[in-house]
């Protein structure tokens, strides 16, 4: 990682080096047992900045929008992504956009940005809809046989199909299942970084990605997909394109970080709608009234505002990226408290999105929070499902488009109702997943 050679002490740092409050050391066991409960608890008990781990690496939880803005935006150059979880991700994907730093990251971001321009994204809408309609055809058979579906698995399979088609511009057919299994294995081993099969799974995924890159470059045509855009990309300062290794790193990053986050977002959205039938009915009315039975397209999304509000509220309650981590390079001060070099800064988006000072009845599912009138005056850093600042997720618009089109497709054919008696809790793994299979019945 290419850090600055030195970072001067900012003028605003006071000399007395006041440190934030800290819970008793015994409570740190709660971080391992139930991270969500732990972060919610210490934020409630100790305030908006808490030192929750004094050693070996001092770690602060920050839980106020102003502090989040300071770390991710105003003083972002003093904070790297050099945390243990990001370093483990780096082992799997190489130096891709998610984990690279400094000038390397800035060059990668410049070259990849055109791939996510709206003119590129709008060409992918038909492919997303086609994948959703294939899922619906299979669900018709499940419905005919009165079988429930595991929504988490179904959304994972659907978003993997979309991700590989959008990335590669090719239909992998049956191979998409194999790729999905490899990605799931790699993601599960990220949660157990000492697992001996972590590097093996990464190598398996890398082999598939490298083969597809070679095939596409042999007789290259711009198919409107993201890989095409990256092959065509040139650095505006040097004129150089990405070599095969750089392409491999970026594609690996987008597969691992992209598909599972959208799958998680859709899974939790179906769960929340099944528990809030009034919102489900309003959403269905909007989709029917706007589309009149035809497949949705990118151009329709501006006329589906409640659909976007539902997705925003789902991402508030169950953000797939439930925590963000940074490491301080030099000294800093946050909220009047001293930050030493190498301090880990944790932003638990799950807790931030439930901060009672910024969200009324924070546990209640209410898409109306995201209506234009309710957005006015709200601190925008109280809601950061995709991060914020220069390192905000590059694929956020693609993920939101994909999720909205899939919701609109499915709601024209089926409602999904949770099987009675199922208790569903969030499980904070690589992304925020349900703690169990999410079995739902299909209703035309």
The domain that contains 308 carries what CATH number?
A: 1.10.630.10
Is residue 17 included in any domain, yes or no? no
Which H helix or E strand runs over 410? helix 396-411
Per-residue burial over 337-369, b if 16 or more Cβ lie within 10 Å, else e, is bbbeeebbbbbbbbbbbbbeebbeebeebbbeb
Residue 275: the pLDDT is 96
Is residue 11 included in any domain, yes or no? no
pLDDT tens digits in sequence order for the chain, 444 residues long: 443 333 445 656 765 789 999 987 656 788 888 999 999 999 999 999 999 987 788 999 999 999 999 999 999 999 999 887 777 777 777 788 888 888 888 988 988 888 888 888 899 999 999 999 999 999 999 999 999 999 999 999 999 999 888 888 877 777 777 888 888 777 777 767 666 777 788 888 888 889 888 888 888 888 888 889 889 999 888 888 998 898 998 888 888 877 889 999 999 999 999 999 999 999 999 999 999 999 999 999 999 999 999 999 999 999 999 999 999 999 999 999 999 999 999 999 999 999 999 999 999 999 999 999 999 989 999 999 999 999 999 999 999 999 999 999 999 999 999 999 888 999 998 899 998 889 999 999
Q: Can you list the alpha helix ranges (DSSP code H) found in 219-243?
A: 226-232
Per-residue burial over 77-99, b if 16 or more Cβ lie within 10 Å, else e, is ebbbbbbeebebbbebbbbbbbb
Count CA atoms within 13 Å of residue 167 on its CB side.
28
Is residue 15 included in any domain, yes or no? no
Is residue 20 included in any domain, yes or no? no
Is residue 387 included in any domain, yes or no? yes
Domains identified in the chain, total number: 1
Is residue 81 included in any domain, yes or no? yes
Residue 14: the pLDDT is 64
Which of 70, 67, 56, 65 has its CA nearest to residue 25?
Answer: 56
Is residue 329 included in any domain, yes or no? yes
Range of the domain at 179: 25-443
Report how far residue 367's alpha carbon sits from residue 275's, in angstroms, rounded to the nearest whole number.
13
Using CA atoms, how far residue 184 sits from 112, 191, 201, 260, 357, in Å, is: 25, 11, 9, 9, 37
């Amino acid at each position: 990682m290419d850090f600055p050679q030195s970072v001067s002490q900012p003028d605003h740092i006071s000399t007395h080096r006041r440190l934030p409050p800290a819970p008793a050391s015994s409570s740190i066991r709660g971080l391992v047992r139930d991270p969500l409960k732990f972060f919610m608890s210490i934020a409630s008990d100790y305030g908006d900045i808490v030192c929750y781990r004094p050693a070996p690496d001092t770690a602060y939880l920050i839980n106020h929008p102003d502090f989040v803005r300071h770390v991710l935006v105003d003083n972002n150059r003093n904070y790297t992504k050099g945390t243990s979880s990001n370093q483990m991700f780096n082992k799997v994907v190489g130096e891709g956009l998610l984990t690279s730093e400094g000038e390397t990251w800035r060059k990668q971001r410049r070259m990849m940005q055109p791939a996510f321009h709206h003119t590129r994204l709008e060409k992918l809408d038909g492919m997303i809809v086609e994948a959703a309609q294939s899922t619906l055809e299979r669900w018709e058979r499940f419905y005919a046989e009165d079988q429930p579906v595991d929504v988490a698995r179904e959304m994972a399979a659907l978003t993997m199909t979309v991700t590989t088609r959008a990335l590669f511009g090719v239909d992998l057919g049956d191979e998409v299942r194999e790729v999905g299994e490899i990605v799931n294995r790699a993601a599960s081993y990220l949660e157990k970084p000492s697992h001996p099969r972590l590097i093996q799974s990464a190598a398996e995924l890398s082999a598939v990605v490298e083969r597809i890159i070679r095939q596409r470059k042999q007789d290259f045509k711009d198919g409107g997909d993201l890989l095409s855009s990256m092959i065509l990309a040139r650095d505006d300062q040097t004129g150089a394109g990405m070599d095969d290794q750089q392409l491999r790193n970026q594609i690996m990053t987008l597969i691992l970080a992209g598909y599972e986050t959208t799958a998680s977002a859709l899974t939790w959205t179906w769960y929340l709608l099944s528990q809030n039938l009034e919102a489900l009915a309003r959403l269905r009315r909007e989709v029917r009234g706007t589309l009149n039975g035809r497949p949705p397209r990118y151009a329709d999304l501006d006329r589906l505002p409640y659909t976007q509000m539902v997705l925003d509220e789902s991402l508030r309650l169950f953000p797939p990226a439930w925590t963000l981590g940074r490491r301080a390079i030099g000294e800093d001060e946050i909220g009047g408290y001293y930050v030493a070099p190498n301090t880990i800064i944790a932003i638990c988006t799950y807790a931030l999105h439930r901060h009672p000072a910024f969200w009324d009845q924070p546990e209640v599912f209410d898409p109306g929070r995201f209506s234009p009138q309710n957005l006015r005056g709200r601190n925008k850093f109280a809601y950061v499902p995709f991060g914020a600042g220069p390192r905000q997720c590059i694929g956020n618009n693609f993920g939101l488009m994909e999720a909205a089109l899939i919701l609109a497709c499915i709601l024209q054919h089926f409602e999904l109702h949770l099987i009675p008696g199922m208790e569903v809790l969030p499980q904070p793994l690589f992304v925020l997943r349900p703690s169990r299979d999410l079995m739902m019945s299909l209703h035309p």
